[in-house]
Structure 1
Amino acid sequence: MGSVIFVPSITLFFLVVLWTTAGAQIILTAENSTPPAGYTDSVYFGLTGGLTAPTGGAAQVWDYSNVALDFPRVVEITDERDSPIFTEAYSGTPGVLRFVGFDADAVFYDAADEDGFYAIGRLIAETSFPLTTITGNPDDTFKYLADTSVYEGRVNELTFPMTYQDTYEGARLERSRLSLSVAAFGLTNAPVETRRYYAESHSVIGYGQVIIPLEDQSPSPPIDVLLVQIDRSSIDSFFVAGMVAPPELTAPFGVSQGMMATDQVFVFLTPGLEAPVVRMNVTAGTVDDFIYRPRAANLISSTRELSTAHLRISPNPVPRGGTLRVQLDQEFTAGSMRLLNQQGQMISVPAVNNQGKECTVEIPAQLPAGIYYLQAIDANGRLIPAQRIVVQ
């Protein structure tokens, strides 16, 4: 079975750090690592030529500042806490399900609890393809059926608590419903089910600092991170009309019963960012994807602790020159705010009128319409997780 591709693959984390000295280890806990349920993610894909898998260890420096930009992408992560489809869902990520080159639009759902952050299932849109290039018959078809698939088992994208040298494992079974019409086999809209047994092991193999390209391709400042190695394996099986698919049918698609695949993923995690600073997919020693987030250099400070407070803002959207009302779940006297663009660049330090747990923020009249983030800093210098706002 072909690989499942997440666009972006994405794992969403808010982290808190316990720093004792420069470059100290990061500790993730359930109380302070819950990601935002919905937000806009800006990711950059880098060219992978010459890249190799990172080496772990304590107090390392990983320099990727010379990686050239391939293309950027913006993805809307949706808040699914009230989802009527997946009642345990926390957030949803749009993506693609791929089988031997056939792509279907999908939404991948995640959940969060005191033990970790993990994938729970996917929603697939019905999509049909002709099989002319495979069977030679233009009337033969391959179809993804519109389906809500709940995973059996659990693989944590992040487990709580976690720090350097920690390890954990997980496994799940994923099912997909398809339809196949192949005249040579007497199949007309025959029901097909694919089953993938999927397993992962996670190891926190290093900590230190990573350097990435900024939007203008200049090097970022060093960013404090944990390095996590994820070893993945899968076993695929295929069934037609409730029976094991014969080799004569699977072979033209380039698959076989019990087909196994393995790869590795390396992620660099940092405080204050809801997704990895860098994500690298490695197959047979070759780096397939290099995904990074330049805004990590602006949204976090390697020496600043994060606050556990949360912001609630209104109205949203807000007009240029308008007033944004901000409510906090703790006192905010003597705190400050800053406006960031989608790339994490600070563009304004707006005036703030404090009133205990509430304050108002004046949006600059000259600010271009678009999507921004409001980042708060409390009186003790701790960062409060940013909130997405739309300026009209």
Structure 2
Amino acid sequence: MLVDLEITHRDHAYPWLLLWMTNFHRTQLAGARQGLQGGILSSLAQRLNPRLHHLQVSTAQPAQGPSHAAHFSFVPGHGKHILRYGSSFILVDRQREKAFDMSTGIPFETITMTTLYSQRNVFERIFAEAHEMHQQMQEGKTIIYNAMGPNWQPFGDPKRKRPLESVILERGVKERIVKDVQAFIEARTWYLDRGIPYRRGYLLYGPPGTGKSSFIQALAGHLDFNIAILNVSERGLNDDRLSHLLSKVPPRTIVLLEDVDVAFANRRKVEADGYSGANVTFSGLLNALDGVASGEERIIFLTTNYVERLDEALIRPGRVDMTVRLGEATEYQIGELWDRFYAEFDAEGAGKQRFLAQVTQLGLKNTVSTAALQGLFLYNKDDPEGAISMVKGLTATGHTRHADGNVELPGHVDVNNVR
């Protein structure tokens, strides 16, 4: 008697299984090469092992190295394969349908695995190994999800976790947010016992370049969470799809609604309970955040450069539980940024004091963004004296203003303007 197991491309384990099969194939090839050197019996045993005969190439170009460099890996192609796992023989049938998933534009795919009924437990071992392999590949990285149709899909390759200490906020601000998020994560039972919806909302606001998105990325890495980014003004996003997405957030994932003010900047009031002007109505957003059908077990961050444009109904307690302003660089932040870039060159701190004196004299404290300062330091990454001599080129807006009146974007430096 035989037993079949089918897995579709919509299942989270589908790419894990492909990865496992690819690695299994490599192991078999390596064993075959060793068998050729191990004598007649060893070579014969390897030849009797079934192998993958329908392969599909996957090409990747490394970010570093020569421009012509490329890495090739061979994944199981469409068709039938026979694998030998331990003492079990497994027929693997990967099929692609002609029909497309209308929500994603991806063809329907399935993998069907067949083995003897008496050996069906082999499936659990294979999927456990595939999951472990997937976890090892994601170790130390943050997955960024994007909305694709009604589902969340990984966007690009996982990003290396950003250290929390790499984001410099005003003294105590970072620690206060981290403490609140960690307390929320640990209080699940407390919320459920009291019948309180288990979700928490945060609003980070302030000028551009003050670290809002960077902090959220670093926080996710610190908590070992992923990030799901949703653009509320995205074309094709409506109230129903928004509500569905926020109720189906992947586990251990922070939801990020960036520049939420932009979605309703040009809205027009049409009725007492909502606004229109975008595919998502204002009332639809409110209901998705904390309505009857809204999801639970959720951490959501909203960011904006213009908090005054947000309706009070959007940021009331229950939808936004903590509001934090991330402003321009204070003396503390400037000093911390200096130490992060130049501690090895300025052990005594004399250079930092001269830089801070220049910043104070130019009136840049609490007026220039941390992004602009970081751009200056990156340009002079091994040259603290260069940073000191060029700080006068930063304007209060964080732009570099030259003697001829031209203005460049934050962090852009004209070497011809250095005196």
- Quickly name the TM-score band, shorter chain normalised: under 0.3
Structure-2-length-normalised TM-score:
0.20
Q: Which has the larger radius of gyration?
A: 2
Q: Which structure has more helix as a fraction of its residues?
A: 2
Structure with higher RCO (Cα < 8 A, 6+ apart): 1
